[in-house]
Structure 1
């Protein structure tokens, strides 16, 4: 393989591994705010117990996330020097804002979150919890802004020519609010809420299957179920809004998502299928004109297809992009169906009567992780062959001095180190979950919540 493919594989590997953790920390931050807020409102020690437990999980995820994120910044300079020069002015502003307004906020209050119990008042500790949760979201904001600028550049001009060309900011806020930043940010944040809430659902479903921590797990499961259900339904809205934006700003990407070639025809929406790139056909289960209807509320309106673009400007491989995108959609619909089923059983008063349902939820933590990873793969593979859409091709963004054997060696080294980190993470996470709660058994803690929020009883 050539240097470009190897460098893309290396960056995809490091980004994918890192992206396990930020969505979990963002989603868990929201869960911590909900749990501790209920503790302050009700005085029920069960909520304090679950908050303390999940803070420990949060700190583990935060630590691994920071360690795995540093490598990517070095890769910009080693493997993608031309790219770094080209976007340095844009990314410098966004990443500096992340460090100042996000990481500093999150890490600054993290110590108070971890060690502030019994040292500060409950309200001050709750404020620290909110700040950590906001810090994790602000971090996502600036990272998504930077990535969205690559997808839909705005607020810039080009200085220099050829290899010395680079983008400079002319309007900071136009760069921040580029055409895709808001819709992509909302989609990413809701995906993070799903990741955090499904982790809580999974762990407490496991406890319920094992008949451990029954009282506390029932309450925690219900909190997470509310967040997961709302987030799943919101993801339908944000996903549709994002797809509409892609149709306007990156029509080749949307055409690749559905394997749509002919611009003179309406676009079908496939539930599953296979793209024959040579014959430019798709075989599978489809809704005729479905994509046209979603975009224009008209089943017969033509949608711009891949044949409207030069072969060198089309994303590829088309079938891989098609499969990844549709698997992401399938996973999203599965999460929605699973949470709605659980909500229906809760309404019927039978939520915890079915062991098979709790068993499914105990393994469901993998769903939002896969969905988030596949979403990023869809967005980044669909952007190809551009690293900055319409301005800089991926093949031109490489470091000229890096050789294939160097990338292979570093890829093996990263794989080894990241595998060790992942094994360590799973070991520590499993150890904390198997250990359970450090406080009194939840069944022995008085339940004060009957005088307050009945939906969680």
Structure 2
């Protein structure tokens, strides 16, 4: 592999691993803030214990996530210096806003939240976690603004003398039509991750208690009620996030068809322009991805998804290739079709399965019931992984579908690589970062499991008298275990 392939692999691996932590942080910060708000209002010990329990998982994720994110910024200078020179004036503006504003809010206020228990007034302490949560949203918005510029460059002009793009309209960058649909889509997907983690941890504790009722500690009834509450909050969050992902994904598809028609055509392996265009449920193509051999299709559905009309025209790969050759010169302007096609479907499949498991969890725990079958534990283990995988597949589709462009229509990927970087240098750093990220990921999983297993902590009410937790009304007349 040459230096370009190695640099792309390095950035891809570090980005995908880093994005394991991002949706967890965004969603869990809000869920913990909601739990603490409910505790402040009700003074129920249950909500205080849930706040501190899931708050600890949030802090573990934040600590490891920050480390994985630092490497990405160095790569812009080390491996992609020509890209940084060409669009740094535009691309760097939202990233600077993220570092100076959003990341500042997150880091400062989460520190106050950590050390402020019992030391600052309760309402101010509650405000700190809400500021942290909204800081994660700002951070995501600015970073997505930079990425959306790569998908649909706006707010710039080319300085021919300097040979670079100059920022002319920061407002255009921050209101990019791609950004306005990508941001809510990403946030809803993030909430599927956080909801999945909460529901999975709660389900594991409920099943463990249901299968081993004699091992329960004296406070087990309260733990059971608290974890049932947490499970239902998590499952509902997954479902709401899934509905939001579907709605915003539909809007995103229409914008993608407008600004990146090749990506949409590649996502459907649509080689010839069609009106109306069918949606491919399953397509088998040649090994090089140049031709479809067999396909199962839903008539007219792609036209609706791409244009909003069942009779709309969707351009095919071959026609777009001819247009781009005429506009940009000779070259291959289609991405890797099999990767683009299948990651798009894996993204949808992972999200759909997570929604189905969350729906089952709500049904299985209705009226105080607790499932005790092995399948309940398997579902709990799989649930947080599915939306995480869906997020990863979504980003692989987004970035691979933009190829061969680094900045669509402005800079091809091979033009952005650092001219002085050798393949040996990138290979060594790639190997080092891969080992480092594998170790950090293992540490992340280990710490989460270690602190999730013991269950809810014993707490001393802070900033107000908490009322002792009471068993659920449903718990009073229901047996502990219901197996399905």
TM-score of the pair, normalised by structure 2: 0.87
Aligned match of 1:124? 124
CA distance 1:278–1:216, shift in 2 (3 Å): closer
2:331 matches 1:320 = no
2:435 matches 1:406 = no
| Deviation readout 1:175-218 (Å, 9 max, x if unpaired) | 11112011001111111111111111111111112116322211
Aligned match of 2:251? 241
| Deviation readout 1:207-245 (Å, 9 max, x if unpaired) | 112116322211111121222211111111011111111
Kept in 2: contact 1:203–1:433 (CA 8 A):
yes
Aligned match of 2:153? 153
Runs of 4+ in 1 over 6 A off after TM superposition: none
Aligned match of 2:84? 84
* Among candidates 451, 475, 481, match of residue 432 of structure 1: 451
More deviation in 89-98 or 278-287?
278-287
Aligned match of 1:290? 301
More deviation in 385-394 or 305-314?
305-314
CA distance in 2: counterparts of 1:92 and 1:278, whole angstroms: 35
Query: What displacement does 1:330 show?
Result: 1.1
CA distance in 1: counterparts of 2:472 and 2:36, whole angstroms: 13
Aligned match of 1:95? 95
CA distance in 1: counterparts of 2:306 and 2:422, whole angstroms: 44
CA distance in 2: counterparts of 1:176 and 1:440, whole angstroms: 44
Aligned match of 2:226? 216
More deviation in 234-243 or 304-313?
304-313
Aligned match of 2:54? 54
| Deviation readout 1:359-386 (Å, 9 max, x if unpaired) | 4133211011100001000000000000
CA distance 1:166–1:113, shift in 2 (3 Å): same
Query: What displacement does 1:80 show?
Result: 0.5
2:195 matches 1:197 = yes
CA distance in 2: counterparts of 1:297 and 1:134, whole angstroms: 33
* Among candidates 233, 237, 248, match of residue 227 of structure 1: 237
**Aligned Cα RMSD in Å?**
2.1
Kept in 1: contact 2:290–2:337 (CA 8 A):
no
CA distance in 2: counterparts of 1:313 and 1:445, whole angstroms: 67
Kept in 1: contact 2:24–2:61 (CA 8 A):
yes
CA distance 1:58–1:266, shift in 2 (3 Å): same
2:367 matches 1:349 = yes
CA distance in 1: counterparts of 2:308 and 2:185, whole angstroms: 22
CA distance in 1: counterparts of 2:459 and 2:406, whole angstroms: 54
Query: What displacement does 1:325 show?
Result: 0.7
Kept in 1: contact 2:283–2:295 (CA 8 A):
yes
Kept in 2: contact 1:275–1:322 (CA 8 A):
no
- Which runs of no fewer than 5 residues in structure 2 stay unpaired? 210-215, 217-222, 323-330, 461-466, 474-484
CA distance in 2: counterparts of 1:132 and 1:300, whole angstroms: 46
SS in 1 for 2:177: coil
Aligned match of 2:292? 281
Aligned match of 1:390? 409
2:133 matches 1:114 = no
Kept in 2: contact 1:273–1:283 (CA 8 A):
yes
More deviation in 64-73 or 117-126?
117-126
2:137 matches 1:137 = yes
Query: What displacement does 1:173 show?
Result: 0.2
Query: What displacement does 1:344 show?
Result: 4.6
- Which runs of no fewer than 5 residues in structure 1 stay unpaired? 451-457
Q: How many residues align?
A: 445
Query: What displacement does 1:440 show?
Result: 6.2
Query: What displacement does 1:357 show?
Result: 3.7
Aligned match of 1:33? 33
Query: What displacement does 1:278 show?
Result: 5.8
CA distance in 2: counterparts of 1:103 and 1:85, whole angstroms: 24
Query: What displacement does 1:246 show?
Result: 0.1
2:280 matches 1:308 = no
More deviation in 268-277 or 34-43?
268-277
Aligned match of 1:187? 185
Query: What displacement does 1:295 show?
Result: 3.0
CA distance in 2: counterparts of 1:340 and 1:429, whole angstroms: 24
CA distance in 2: counterparts of 1:296 and 1:151, whole angstroms: 19
SS in 2 for 1:310: helix
CA distance in 2: counterparts of 1:445 and 1:305, whole angstroms: 64
